[in-house]
């Protein structure tokens, strides 16, 4: 099929129509191979556009590549053998960025092969890359527009910081994946400082390395504190924490507000002389859940610390460098990495008598999502988008978005929006879109210029600009127009933009807006549909929403499907080293791309849950859906000509009077309507459920019950099956594009199922009453089959009678039920006859009822068993005179004990199967077993279904007697023109094609 599509140009032919459905394809990084997460998202990205195309829309599917940022830089560092930013600078930014450019597109061929193999239609020829000058120009336009709106500012703020990559992260990057937070063991210490009033104040921290930077102690103004005697000295901590420290001798009590404003002697004198420092301040984040109820404050290394200290005029003072090594500000620890400094700092505190207690704590700690090293919080100079200013509008615009699953709207995404912080968009790195800000290098003549286009740059700098990457953009300098001396120079700030700013600009940057395609963009924005995994509520979904709100006052997309996470077969995150997932190529080669598509698209992962990938689960989909569908097609091609009738080619028809045909076509109408409803609302898993359910009806009910009609060449049956297959293939085409294409082209002889219109359910017969009756008949057969199985009676053994008590009129369907259940007679009785053969049982849940009823629960249990209970008309259950509540009991309706070979029907009614096997019935059962053996022998001999045979049977006396008794049946069922039956020790079958 892939070869056919390529040669035929099927995908290009599908890009038709003026009514456009706008789909945004989130760009992956191309410096790594695809994984199951990409596979899953890619299938959704194919299902929805295929469906929308069949609905008459034009759906462009431009592939995109995310090419900037630290993932690319880390790969280049690995290839070049570089460890630090200093080594990159020594090599040269130009050479390093050349290596980044080469690495980001390393696997493009593999990606193209992978995407094509999964039968996903994508336009690779008109792809977009975030490194292209056009794309980057749109990005810097976005920055300048935000700057002009007053939504961009520069500030010194505490941010999550990766000391390995020497760059800050955005807060949303810490919340994208659960594995960003990992268990980590750290020392925790309690230290004491001496207040100016003489008491010791105890503070607790899990980051001892920040204590040399301590500038304040924080308390909760309304928290209760206690003064206790410890080694004869008055010591203060939260009253709620006394027991945790083993303190009991309370001297007096006070509120946190009584401590605010008191000064204390610093633990270290490195920052002595800092304005307003070394005082007790108020902070809202102080709790008594752990520690001492007093929080040590280092404003350079804590977000809340900085905010609280700013409020009282305590400055932010840095003591560590970009690589998280202590600077000369703290001479004893200069050059030590902050984590290495914990031990010597604790040792020095102990020697100074300031260490009260040392413990160890295992806590959930953030790690860099790129290099996996533990982060620190550190004050850095960064450029920010002032998200807090547009936060309320972002919440409002979210109301215009349809989320799948729906709970994401006001749940994970909505809550994140409600608490969104300002977005740090600058990275002190090398490979990325530049921050287009030029600043005077002389503070005496301050000036800032912000550029939003290449034309503006060329106008001011007088040179042609071909590449916006470093170092070329850094080389654009000019004299400061505001400096009359002519000595100062306008130089670009060295930072590059956060890669999430790139991806968040995708909607407009992919079409080079506003420099090109302005009319198209303004008419087609927001996009109609996007899809990615749930973590992107803090990533791509979020940054697109921020920029769309800030730039256009619109949401970026109308509908978003946010799926769960794909896990390995051990329930853990997929890992190459653990080999805990099936090889994708092997699955494609063995089971096919449609099998993988079906497994992923029919799973709970599209409703927000996670999914474990196992080979067995993939094969189950093959067994439950793909093979039955293919078998239905094979049956049509095999049996349509079985009777050698004059006219046996199938044709579209919905006029058959036969009850099975009418039912199948009415069910087909429901299928089309249901799948259309589900796909319109992006409920792909439910669409799969509907297709699987109809395929089950088609193969395990309609075809099985219609074999004789096909054998005899019934044109109605042939036309009905043709119609069902043709419509089913069109309906399932987005979900199973390869299998349905093969079947549909073979069935119709036309070009492609993917170039056809979506079927109209209005063209199919509407008969809900028949569907309801047939479904009840199928349920009767299912219950009867279960009775057979429970009674140990094989399906080929005929039985005498099945009694069906139901209010549904099944008279027309009784012959079908008899044939399916293999009984001579079906007796239908009214549902009101059920009462004499049914009983209700009350079972008390002692575990649920016991806590409420106490000893009375035994009285209730006894009453439920003795029959001393009742149910009122409004459903209240009373047992032994005590009213029971929901959850404390189970009420079941069952058949009386004397109806052993019986079963209940849902919604009322039951069936009773007469399991008495007479000698006559036993003989026919044996004959049918013989027929099955003969049919297997025919298949083993490679005979066609229409071939006549000469038959030889050898069997024990009982079997030969049964075969003789039912000779005509055996010959008719097996197309035998002659039968020779001989006695022998066991059943052997000989078949020979008749001349």
Over the stretch 188-232, which tens digit does the pLDDT of each residue have?
A: 999 999 999 999 999 999 999 999 999 999 999 999 999 999 988
DSSP string, 912-950: EE-----HHHHHHHHHHHHHHHHHHHHHHTT--TT--EE
Mean pLDDT of 821-837: 79
Please report the pLDDT score of residue 925 as a whole number.
Answer: 95
Mean pLDDT of 365-382: 87
Mean pLDDT of 824-848: 78
835 has pLDDT over 70: no
* Pairing label, strands 910-913, 877-879: unpaired
Cβ(61)–Cβ(49) below 8 Å: yes
Q: What is the pLDDT of residues 917-968, one digit of tens each?
A: 999 999 999 999 999 999 999 999 998 888 899 999 999 999 999 999 999 9
Q: What is the pLDDT of residues 597-610, one digit of tens each?
A: 999 999 989 888 88
568 has pLDDT over 50: yes
Please report the pLDDT score of residue 614 as a whole number.
Answer: 84
- Sign for the CA dihedral angle at 985, 987, 993, 995 comes to positive
Q: Which candidate, 745, 769, 767, 772, places its Cα nearest to that of 756?
A: 745
645 has pLDDT over 50: no
Please report the pLDDT score of residue 95 as a whole number.
Answer: 97
| 246-250 long-range Cβ contacts below 8 angstroms, 24+ apart | 250/226
* Tokens standing for residue 128: 């977009």
Cα 346 to Cα 279: distance, rounded to the nearest angstrom: 22
Cβ(982)–Cβ(944) below 8 Å: no
Share of the chain above pLDDT 70, in %: 96
Q: What is the pLDDT of residues 886-916, one digit of tens each?
A: 889 987 766 655 555 888 888 778 899 999 9
Using only the alpha carbons of the chain, give its radius of gyration.
38
Please report the pLDDT score of residue 644 as a whole number.
Answer: 46
Q: If pLDDT is split at 50, 70 and 90, which confidence band does 502 have?
A: very high
995 has pLDDT over 90: no
Please report the pLDDT score of residue 582 as a whole number.
Answer: 80
Please report the pLDDT score of residue 894 as a whole number.
Answer: 63
627-639 vs 715-732: helix axis angle to the nearest 10?
Answer: 150
Share of the chain above pLDDT 90, in %: 73
Cα 609 to Cα 615: distance, rounded to the nearest angstrom: 19
Please report the pLDDT score of residue 146 as a whole number.
Answer: 98
Cα 734 to Cα 753: distance, rounded to the nearest angstrom: 10
Please report the pLDDT score of residue 832 as a whole number.
Answer: 67
Mean pLDDT of 638-650: 60
Q: Which candidate, 463, 464, 462, 470, places its Cα nearest to that of 497?
A: 470
* Predicted model pTM: 0.84
Please report the pLDDT score of residue 893 as a whole number.
Answer: 63
Q: If pLDDT is split at 50, 70 and 90, which confidence band does 276 have?
A: very high
Cβ(823)–Cβ(912) below 8 Å: no
578 has pLDDT over 70: no
Cβ(684)–Cβ(44) below 8 Å: yes
* Pairing label, strands 437-440, 877-879: unpaired
Cα 688 to Cα 694: distance, rounded to the nearest angstrom: 10
Which residues does residue 944 pair with via DSSP β-bridges, in sequence order? none
Please report the pLDDT score of residue 643 as a whole number.
Answer: 47
648 has pLDDT over 60: no
Q: How far is CA 374 from CA 210, 303, 337, 368, 968, in A?
A: 15, 17, 12, 6, 82
Q: What average pLDDT is seen over the chain?
A: 91
Mean pLDDT of 497-515: 95
Q: If pLDDT is split at 50, 70 and 90, which confidence band does 833 have?
A: low
Please report the pLDDT score of residue 576 as a whole number.
Answer: 58
Please report the pLDDT score of residue 969 as a whole number.
Answer: 93
Q: What is the pLDDT of residues 21-78, one digit of tens each?
A: 999 998 877 777 777 888 899 999 999 999 999 999 999 999 999 999 888 898 899 9
Catalytic sites, residue numbers:
27, 66, 500, 536, 540, 573, 576
Mean pLDDT of 536-564: 95
Reduced to 3 states, what is the DSSP secondary structure of residue 712? Answer: coil
Mean pLDDT of 293-303: 94
Cβ(905)–Cβ(911) below 8 Å: yes
834 has pLDDT over 70: no
Lowest mean pLDDT: which of 363-367, 555-559, 624-628, 981-985? 363-367
Q: What is the pLDDT of residues 394-445, one digit of tens each?
A: 999 999 999 999 999 999 999 999 999 999 999 989 999 999 999 999 999 9
Q: Kindly report the backbone phi and psi dihedral angles of residue 569, in degrees, each rounded to the nearest multiple of 5, phi listed first.
A: -70, -5
Mean pLDDT of 521-525: 94
Which residues does residue 216 pair with via DSSP β-bridges, in sequence order? 279, 297
Please report the pLDDT score of residue 650 as a whole number.
Answer: 81
């Amino acid at each position: 099929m892939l070869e056919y599509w390529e040669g035929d140009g099927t995908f290009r032919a599908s890009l038709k129509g003026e009514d456009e459905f706008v789909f945004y394809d989130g760009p992956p990084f191309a410096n790594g191979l695809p994984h199951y997460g990409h596979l899953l998202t890619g299938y959704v990205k194919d299902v929805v556009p295929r469906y929308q195309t069949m609905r008459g829309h034009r759906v462009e599917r431009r592939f995109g590549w995310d090419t900037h940022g630290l993932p690319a830089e880390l790969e280049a560092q690995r290839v070049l053998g570089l460890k630090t930013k200093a080594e990159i600078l020594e090599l040269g930014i130009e050479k390093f960025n050349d290596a980044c450019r080469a690495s980001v597109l390393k696997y493009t061929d593999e990606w193209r092969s992978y995407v094509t193999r999964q039968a996903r239609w994508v336009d690779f020829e008109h792809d977009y890359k975030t490194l292209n000058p056009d794309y980057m120009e749109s990005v810097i336009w976005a920055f300048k527009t935000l700057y002009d709106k007053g939504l961009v500012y520069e500030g010194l703020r505490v941010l999550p910081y990766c000391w390995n990559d020497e760059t800050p992260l955005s807060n949303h990057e810490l919340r994208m994946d659960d594995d960003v937070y990992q268990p980590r063991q750290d020392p925790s210490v309690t230290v004491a400082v001496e207040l100016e009033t003489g008491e010791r104040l105890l503070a607790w921290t899990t980051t001892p390395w920040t204590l040399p930077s301590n500038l304040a102690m924080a308390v909760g103004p309304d928290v209760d504190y206690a003064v206790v005697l410890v080694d004869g000295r008055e010591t203060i901590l939260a009253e709620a924490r006394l027991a945790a420290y083993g303190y009991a001798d309370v001297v007096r009590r006070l509120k946190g507000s009584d401590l605010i404003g008191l000064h204390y002697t610093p633990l270290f004198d490195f920052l002595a002389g800092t304005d307003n420092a070394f005082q007790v301040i108020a902070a809202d984040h102080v709790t008594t859940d752990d520690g001492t109820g007093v929080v040590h404050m280092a404003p350079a290394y804590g977000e809340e610390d900085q905010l609280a200290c700013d409020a009282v005029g305590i400055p932010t003072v840095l003591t560590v460098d970009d690589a998280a090594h202590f600077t000369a500000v703290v001479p004893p620890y200069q050059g030590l990495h902050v984590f290495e400094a914990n031990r010597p700092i604790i040792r020095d505190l102990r020697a100074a008598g300031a260490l009260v207690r040392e413990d160890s704590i295992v806590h959930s700690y953030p790690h860099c999502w790129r290099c996996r090293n533990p982060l620190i919080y550190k004050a850095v100079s960064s450029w920010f988008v002032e998200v807090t200013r547009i936060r309320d509008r972002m919440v409002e615009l979210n109301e215009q978005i349809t989320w799948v699953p729906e709970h994401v709207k006001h749940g994970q995404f909505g809550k994140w929006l409600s608490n969104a912080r300002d977005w740090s968009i600058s990275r002190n790195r090398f490979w990325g879109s530049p921050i287009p800000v030029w600043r005077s290098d002389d503070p005496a003549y301050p000036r800032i210029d912000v550029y939003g286009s290449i034309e503006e740059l060329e106008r001011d700098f007088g040179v042609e600009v071909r590449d916006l990457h470093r170092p070329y953009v850094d080389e654009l300098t000019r004299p400061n127009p505001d400096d009359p001396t002519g000595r100062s120079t306008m130089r670009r700030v060295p930072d590059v933009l956060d890669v999430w700013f790139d991806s968040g600009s995708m909607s407009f940057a992919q079409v080079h807006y506003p420099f090109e395609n302005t009319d198209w963009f303004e008419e087609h924005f927001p996009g109609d549909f996007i899809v990615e995994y749930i973590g992107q509520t803090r990533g791509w979904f979020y940054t697109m929403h921020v920029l769309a709100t800030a730039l256009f006052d619109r949401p970026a997309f109308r509908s978003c499907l946010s799926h769960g996470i794909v896990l390995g077969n051990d329930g853990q995150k997929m890992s190459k080293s653990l080999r805990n997932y099936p090889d994708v190529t092997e699955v494609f080669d063995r089971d096919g791309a449609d099998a993988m598509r079906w497994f992923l698209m029919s799973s709970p992962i599209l409703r927000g849950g996670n999914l474990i990938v196992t080979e067995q689960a993939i094969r189950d989909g093959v067994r439950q859906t793909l093979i039955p569908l293919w078998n239905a097609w094979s049956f049509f091609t095999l049996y349509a000509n079985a009777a050698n009738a004059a006219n046996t080619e199938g044709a579209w028809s919905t006029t058959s009077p036969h009850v099975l045909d009418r039912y199948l076509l009415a069910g087909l109408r429901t299928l089309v309507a249901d799948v259309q409803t589900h796909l319109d609302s992006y409920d792909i898993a439910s669409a799969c459920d509907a297709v699987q359910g109809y395929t089950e009806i088609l193969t395990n009910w309609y075809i099985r019950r219609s074999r004789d009609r096909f054998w005899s060449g019934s044109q109605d049956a042939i036309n009905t099956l043709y119609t069902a297959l043709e419509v089913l293939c069109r309906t399932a085409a987005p979900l199973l594009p390869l299998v349905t294409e093969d079947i549909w082209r073979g069935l119709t002889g036309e070009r492609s199922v993917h170039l056809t219109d979506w079927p109209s359910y209005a063209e199919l017969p509407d008969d809900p009453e028949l569907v309801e009756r047939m479904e009840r008949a199928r349920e009767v057969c299912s219950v009867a089959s279960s009775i057979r199985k429970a009674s140990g009676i094989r399906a080929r053994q005929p039985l005498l009678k099945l009694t069906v008590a139901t209010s549904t009129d099944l008279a027309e369907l009784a012959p079908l039920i008899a044939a399916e259940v293999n009984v001579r007679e079906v007796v239908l009785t009214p549902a009101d006859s059920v009462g004499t053969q049914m009983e209700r049982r009350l079972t008390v849940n002692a575990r649920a009822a016991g806590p409420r009823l106490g000893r009375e629960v035994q009285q209730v249990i006894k009453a439920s068993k003795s029959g001393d209970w009742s149910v009122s008309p409004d459903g209240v259950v009373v047992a032994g005179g005590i009213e029971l509540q929901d959850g404390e009991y189970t009420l079941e309706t069952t058949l009386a004990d004397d109806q052993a070979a019986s079963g209940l029907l849902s919604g009322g009614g039951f069936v009773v199967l007469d399991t008495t096997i007479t000698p006559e019935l036993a003989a026919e059962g044996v004959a049918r077993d013989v027929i099955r053996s003969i049919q297997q022998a025919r298949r083993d001999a490679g005979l066609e279904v229409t071939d006549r045979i000469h038959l030889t049977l050898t069997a024990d006396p009982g079997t030969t007697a049964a075969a003789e008794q039912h000779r005509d049946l055996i010959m008719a069922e097996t197309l035998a023109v002659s039968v020779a039956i001989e006695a022998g020790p066991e059943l052997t079958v000989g078949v020979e094609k008749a001349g």
